[in-house]
Structure 1
């Protein structure tokens, strides 16, 4: 499958077959790494890593994945370059596109990412914007495949604040994989309407099921996986509505009682991390046998490697 030269803005850009191809490659490169096989397929490639927002998993995953394949990753903090200050995004993109083979962007506005894609003329990968987080969703699905194999019809329940980038990307990829995807949140914290409309079109083709519920115990019944994210995202800490948001989200905490309400011992717990234990999830669940959050974190590296290989070679 030819994906060379493609950027990754959102998962809406990629077909079901393209998503499955990248996931297949992710499993392959994970096995290679486990067996100390490093083919260096990105030798002499240079990767720009632009960070407006701080990171642990994303920076580490891109850096190690690039080194494993023989590429050179260059960390570019927003305070280190003229990006968006003395120089427009358009001009920065045209400069970087002449020097680097690929660009990773982790920041705020989707429009900034799209400008990088339009003007750099090299593959640009969305490592998080306010609207989408596709590299996280790839790792989430890879983790589920490792536990359950074929995901058609598997029930994935996302609880808590669903008006965010993680919920958007997870909803898209779950629908494309034919899953039974449930958003369980207050009505005021549901995903953006335009993305819901896109997902309603997808499920007609894939046989997926999409539900929006408000009762956690009802939502999680027979769930194969429970997923949550922080209730206050990076950059929102000083918003005046934070205290009110936490209050309305308290019933959606993933705790042991909610795990029991699934009626399944095998229900998986996932979280994109970092977690605020005691808010969206309890320490007990986070450290339980149901939790696969560190497998999920590791899989960021393997899926990112697969994305870079697919689009650069």
Structure 2
């Protein structure tokens, strides 16, 4: 994941040529080796799938790592001092947490390479992989446009700039500030109505809510008509 000792805090940190290089490396099955590095996994927000997927990869390649599950570090300790301690002990820090600002602080003061494996704002590792699985030039996003997975996917697809992205979502979830930051020349369509295209498309969705999220009933009522079902797939 690391090209020139750069952090991967969110998908804005990945340049187009880096994204394409990762895909080439993946196709040739030539992966970066972490054998000589000291690695730490910080699991601030407990996550079964995300963290265990990473652990399984490390175990498969016999890569040694340390896990920090103690959220005491973020509640009671000075985050700058904590970051400096991380830098002394580890070369790479894989972080699963809540706050994207904390990621930036650790990146600034630790001296370690920070990899965001999932935060409230972004999900770069999933989006990088998923962007290589897109087979059609039209991608339809259904549901909550503010999902961290959606946000990361849209950023990376905009770099490849040969896609038409159709976001079908309630207007209350439209984030114009985010879109203006990304789509200056790229093609994107926002719609509250479900649009059926007579073409091959990729349909993309994310879970409607995550662990710890509140107001679930209200959110479900907002997006109940934007679910992926047999009728959508048939059309």
* Matched residue, 1:254: 228
* Matched residue, 1:213: 191
Alpha-carbon shift at residue 115 of structure 1 (Å):
0.8
Q: 1:118 to 1:245 in 2, by over 3 A?
A: same
Cα distance in structure 1, aligned partners of 2:170 and 2:182: 19
Normalising by structure 2, report the TM-score.
0.90
* Matched residue, 2:169: 185
Are 2:199 and 1:222 aligned? yes
Tell me the number of residue pairs that the alignment of Structure 1 and Structure 2 aligns: 233
* Matched residue, 1:159: 142
Alpha-carbon shift at residue 103 of structure 1 (Å):
0.4
Alpha-carbon shift at residue 60 of structure 1 (Å):
2.5
Are 2:112 and 1:95 aligned? no
Alpha-carbon shift at residue 158 of structure 1 (Å):
0.9
Are 2:66 and 1:66 aligned? no
For structure 2, the 5+ residue unaligned runs are: none
Q: Is the 8 A contact 1:108 1:130 kept in 2?
A: yes
Q: Is the 8 A contact 1:158 1:227 kept in 2?
A: yes
Cα distance in structure 1, aligned partners of 2:189 and 2:40: 39
DSSP-derived class of the 1:249 partner: helix
Q: 1:169 to 1:226 in 2, by over 3 A?
A: same
Normalising by structure 1, report the TM-score.
0.69
Alpha-carbon shift at residue 68 of structure 1 (Å):
4.2
DSSP-derived class of the 1:127 partner: strand
Residues 180-238 of structure 1, C-alpha deviation per residue, up to 9 Å, x if partnerless? Answer: 11111000022x3332112113xx2xxx421111112x1555352111112122221xx
Are 2:123 and 1:118 aligned? no
Alpha-carbon shift at residue 127 of structure 1 (Å):
1.2
For structure 1, the 5+ residue unaligned runs are: 33-38, 262-313
* Matched residue, 1:24: 24
Q: Is the 8 A contact 1:48 1:103 kept in 2?
A: yes
Q: 1:50 to 1:155 in 2, by over 3 A?
A: same
Are 2:108 and 1:127 aligned? no
DSSP-derived class of the 1:143 partner: coil
Higher relative contact order (CA 8 A, sep 6+): 1
Q: Is the 8 A contact 2:51 2:96 kept in 1?
A: no
- Pick the aligned partner of 1:232 from 187, 209, 226: 209
Cα distance in structure 1, aligned partners of 2:79 and 2:177: 26
